[in-house]
Amino acid sequence: MRTIESLGSLADRTVIVRSDLNVPLADGVITDDGRIRASLTTIRELRAAGAKVVVISHLGRPKGAPEARYSLSPVAARMAELLEAPVQFVSETVGAEASAAVAALAPGDVVLLENLRFNAGETSSDDAERGAFAQQLAQLGDAFVSDGFGVVHRRQASVYDLAQLLPSAAGRLVAAELEVLRRLTDTPERPYTVVLGGSKVSDKLGVISHLLERVDTLLIGGGMLFTFLAAQGHRVGASLLEADQLDTVRGYLATAAERGVNIVLPSDVVVAAAFAADAAHETVPADAIESASFGASGLGLDIGPDSAAAFAAVIAESQTVFWNGPMGVFEMPAFAHGTRAVAQALTDTAGFTVVGGGDSAAAVRALGFADAQFGHISTGGGASLEFLEGKALPGLEVLA
């Protein structure tokens, strides 16, 4: 994979950097700036090399047209604070205003252009439309650095097509993420444990199948655990259940048994009367969810304390741990204990620990953990999972 060194001298050259600045916002306020911080290593290096830096990114899921709530304006302000240098924000991605702002850059200057997904060409499945947008972007720079790991699994204009139009290379963040993922897939120290949570089994089908050939233990939590419990014949009340995945999960359980992989399901579950932060709740055995006071109307929203302790014990004995997906509805304090316990266990173990981006990264920060307490916090949940599934990632292939 081509690195920044392959681009030669960058002094006085305009370098377009595709970052992933897709941060969570609440009423226009950034609630987790982890992805902005992660982008700075490459941007600082390019500035120091005398490059004129044009940063591009998406935020949220606009439908190919401007939406004020998805503007990158707050990101530019926060980036300037963290960079301790001015970051000019331009309220368009391509056009006269963007071209003028880029033309006016001096070496070391940084400009952030508006949300890429305000242009339908960014995510278009039509090669011509996507390519036309990439051509407009390419006219703004002399070289391209791909540093948005969270989008390298997407065949999008700013990720895939643009890299073919300019001298291109991977940024430091993408290189670091790839090194970690290769360590997880090629040379993991054992015992190797993967903790999977989140809402749906269907989101993790490929990665579970692929990991069954590689790991020693799978710990299952989050909403997906109820499909596993149902596959074993247990009733799960009103808990999240993907009935169409029951046969697939039974197949995973059988394969794991054949391969000697230990799949650990929770022994107890926190069941609530409703999906609400203040809902009445109680802890019951995982194989007797409907024994709670709420009967068949109760729904599981977290793993229980015994399960959390058991998960932590497995993690403590592991030399490599990859975690993707919270154990419960961590946004509600009453149902955050399982996620907190797993995060704490990862910080306590002497092994190499990786938090797989997305909700997991947001959870550990929301619960007060620092990035430095983990071996690595990925910026790309979906990209990490697809890599671990063994899939080819277009945004990396184009940099080979």
What would the two tokens of residue 165 be?
Answer: 């139009």
State yes or no: 109 annotated in a binding site.
Answer: no
State yes or no: 331 annotated in a binding site.
Answer: yes
For the chain, how long is the longest CA-to-CA vector? 69
Active-site choice (200, 214, 235, 250): 200
What SS3 string covers 8-46? Answer: CCCCCCEEEEECCCCCCEECCEECCCHHHHHHHHHHHHH
Based on the residue annotation, tell me whether 391 is a catalytic residue of this protein. no
Report which DSSP code applies to 62.
-
State yes or no: 300 annotated in a binding site.
Answer: yes
Active-site choice (358, 375, 380, 395): 358
State yes or no: 146 annotated in a binding site.
Answer: no
What would the two tokens of residue 274 be?
Answer: 């409703």
Q: How far is CA 33 from its chain centroid? A: 13
Based on the residue annotation, tell me whether 358 is a catalytic residue of this protein. yes
Which residues, including other chains, have CB under 8 Å from residue 13's CB and lie 6 or more apart? 51, 52, 142, 143
State yes or no: 233 annotated in a binding site.
Answer: no
Q: HSE, CB side, 13 Å, CA atoms: give it for residue 272.
A: 18
The CA R_g of the chain, rounded to the nearest whole Å, is: 22
Based on the residue annotation, tell me whether 35 is a catalytic residue of this protein. yes
State yes or no: 37 annotated in a binding site.
Answer: no
- DSSP string spanning 360-390? HHHHHHHTT--GGGSSEE-S-HHHHHHHHTT
State yes or no: 197 annotated in a binding site.
Answer: no
State yes or no: 358 annotated in a binding site.
Answer: yes
Using a 10 angstrom Cβ sphere, with 0-12 exposed, 13-18 middle and 19 or more buried, the burial of residue 244 is exposed
State yes or no: 155 annotated in a binding site.
Answer: no
Active-site choice (13, 18, 34, 35): 35
State yes or no: 84 annotated in a binding site.
Answer: no
State yes or no: 391 annotated in a binding site.
Answer: no
State yes or no: 190 annotated in a binding site.
Answer: no
Based on the residue annotation, tell me whether 200 is a catalytic residue of this protein. yes
Compute the distance between CA of residue 372 and CA of residue 111 in angstroms, rounded to an integer. Answer: 29
State yes or no: 108 annotated in a binding site.
Answer: no
Closest by CA to 381, choosing from 359, 366, 399, is 359
State yes or no: 356 annotated in a binding site.
Answer: no
Active-site choice (95, 131, 382, 390): 382
- Would you list which residues are annotated within the binding site for ATP? 204, 300, 331, 357-360
- Would you list which residues are annotated within the binding site? 20-22, 35, 58-61, 117, 154, 204, 300, 331, 357-360
- Would you list which residues are annotated within the binding site for (2R)-3-phosphoglycerate? 35, 117, 154
- The residues annotated with a catalytic role in the active site are 35, 200, 358, 382
